[in-house]
Each structure stands twice: as structure tokens, then as C-alpha cells.
Amino acid sequence: MKREMMETINRYEVEVVPLSEEDGGGYLATFPQLGRMITGLGETREEAMKDLLDSVPTLVESLIEDRETVPEPETRPVWRDYSGRVTLRLPRMLHAQLDRLADREGVSLNSLMTTILQSGATALIAGKQFGAAETYDQPPSKPRTVAEGRRITVKRKRRASSE
């Protein structure tokens, strides 16, 4: 079981993003399909990736202990399969608010909504919270599974600073 889990996780897509100076700088590596349950940090992209991959055995041990499994890797969608057109229904009040905001910003409603959606998607992909602020401090109603993004903390030794 351990070998199969390792092989499955090693087929996941890895994403490496730069961290802001406010977040400590460097880079953060994740398996987007697993959310933020396992991460790698490093001063360079390569260090973050190595840190992430070095943590996989510990994650697998934890999953086996908890009798959990990992989902099969998702395939990346092919861009040409998407038209770029989506029909979206909005409450009238929200539609009016967005229209006024677009006018104030001097952009089209479509451009404004695209920017908002891109900003939200980027935040979520980077593991940031996005949405109504009052929901941030509420605990989940039930424990989440690996596929739902339950985070397992992998303890690692801190590296000595090379300054």
C-alpha cells in the first residue's frame, strides 16, 4: 500500500509559487490536488520542490496510520477544450453593484468580473483564504478527508541559516 501511495502522489502535478516578503520570501511548493496538506518551502524553487518531495514519505505514513487513501491524479484540462464563454446568473443587486464598480474603475463589466475571478482563483490556488471574512474563523462542521483538503502537518527540522 505504501509503495502504491508513493507512486500515486509522485504522479501529481507540483506547483511552485513565490512567497511575498510579508510571508517570509522564498518559494512554496504544493501538490494542488492535495491543497495545503503538504507543502515545501525553500529559498529557491528547487529547494522548495526538494522540501516538498522529501515530505512525501512522512505524509504517506500518516495517511496509512489514519487509514486514508489518496485520489488518483487529475489530468490537466486541455485549454482548447474551453470556449472562454460562461453564462452566469447573478442577483440583481450584485449585478448593479458590479456595474457601478466597473463604471467607477473605467473598465467593462466583463473585464471587472474577469479580474475578480482571476484574483479569487489565484488566491485559492496559492492557499490563501478567499470569500466572506466571517467564515474564516468557523471550524469545519465535520473532519475533512484528504480529497477535501484536510491538512496534515509534517514536522521537519529547521535548516540552519547560511548568513
Tens place of pLDDT per residue across the chain (163 aa): 778 888 888 888 888 999 888 888 899 998 888 776 788 999 999 999 999 999 888 888 888 888 887 777 777 766 677 888 899 999 999 999 999 999 999 999 999 999 898 888 777 766 666 666 545 455 544 444 444 444 444 555 555 555 4
State residue 144's pLDDT score: 44
Return the pLDDT at 157: 53
Q: Is 39 in contact with 23 (CB distance < 8 Å)?
A: no
In the three-class reduction of DSSP (H, G, I as helix; E, B as strand; rest coil), residue 34 is classed as helix
CB 90 within 8 A of CB 77: no
Q: Which residues contact 28 (CB under 8 A, 6 or more apart)?
A: 16, 17, 18, 19, 39, 40, 41, 48, 126, 127
Cα 72 to Cα 4, 44, 152: the distances in Å are 11, 29, 19
For residue 103, which amino acid is it? Answer: D
β-sheet bridge partners, residue 40: 29
In this predicted structure, what is the pLDDT of residue 146?
47
Q: Residue 92: what pLDDT?
A: 96
For 2-75+140-148, the fitting CATH number among 3.30.160, 1.10.3470, 3.30.530, 1.10.287 is: 3.30.160
Q: Residue 160's CB: how many other CB atoms inside 10 A? A: 6
